Amino acid sequence: MYGQREMSVEQINNTTGAVVYLHHDQQGSTRLLTGSTGKVEGKCSYGAYGVPTCEGTATTPLGYDAQYTSPDTGLIYMRARVYDPATAQFLTVDPLDAISGAPYNYADDNPVNDADPSGLLFGIPGTPSTNEVLKVVSHVAGAVAVVGSITAAGCAVVAAPTVVGEAACGVVATGALAAGAVATAADTYLAATGAQSPGSAIFDALGLGTGVGGEVFEGALGDEELGAYAKTYGALLSAAAYGEAFAESAFGCG
């Protein structure tokens, strides 16, 4: 059973049916375990980097940062990576190393004030997770790509005959492609980490490719009509990607 911040608050023994309640500190680490009567049956304390010291009859694998700790190795599974509290290091490089500049460090080497339950630097309590940030980026970029693609599709007919209109159309088309590329990257990452189905990324990529094709038809081949058709299809694909990503995020379907 899960409580606030998606932390487990109840643990049931599948064999005996005994219920144990998990109590967490501000960081999210499990500190106290109580039975159905409220009696304390186990308690844990942790070193700054997560080395546990536990006592009592009740135990839980959900200890430091409320993440799963292997009873065999003592390693902690933190979603994106596995963490070793004995060495205060992750076993693999941070996927966001280019941003964090901390390939193996836990919580930016500041475990007293920060935590790292997702295995990523952005997974610090009180701040949005990486996936939450990227979902917002995906929605905003997706909406810009849809509006920009639709505008660019009709631009050749409505505004392009004038010099100013042609320049404005070019800016809109470039903006739509850039937004499509950002949405594609965000949705691809979300799909790769299992936070979102791959459908949005696929539609994004197809929309982006079709939009680029429209630019090629108009620019290199001089076929504005075919370019407009390609951009229209690109807009529809971008709209499908945006709609699927938004529905999955808002309603849990996709």
Handedness of CA 214, 218, 222, 224 (dihedral sign): positive
How is residue 89 written in tokens?
A: 């290091």
- pLDDT for 28: 86
Cβ burial, residue 221 (10 Å; 0-12/13-18/19+): exposed
d(CA 238, CA 173): 14
Look at residue 62 in the predicted model and tell me its pLDDT.
Answer: 93
Mean pLDDT, all residues of the chain: 82
- Tell me how far CA of residue 201 lies from CA of 67, 185, 191, 243, in angstroms: 29, 8, 7, 12
Question: Distance (Å, rounded) from C-alpha 20 to C-alpha 18?
Answer: 7
Distance CA 147, CA 138 (A): 14
Terminal-residue alpha carbon distance, the chain: 25
Provide the pLDDT for residue 3.
47
Round to whole Å and give the CA distance between 232 and 176: 12
Which residue numbers in the chain have pLDDT < 70?
A: 1-6, 98-100, 121-130, 156-166, 193, 222, 249-254
How many C-beta atoms surround the C-beta of residue 16 within 10 A? 7
Distance from C-alpha of 238 to C-alpha of 22, rounded to nearest angstrom: 45
On the 0-12 / 13-18 / 19+ scale of CB atoms within 10 A, 250 is exposed
pLDDT at 253: 55
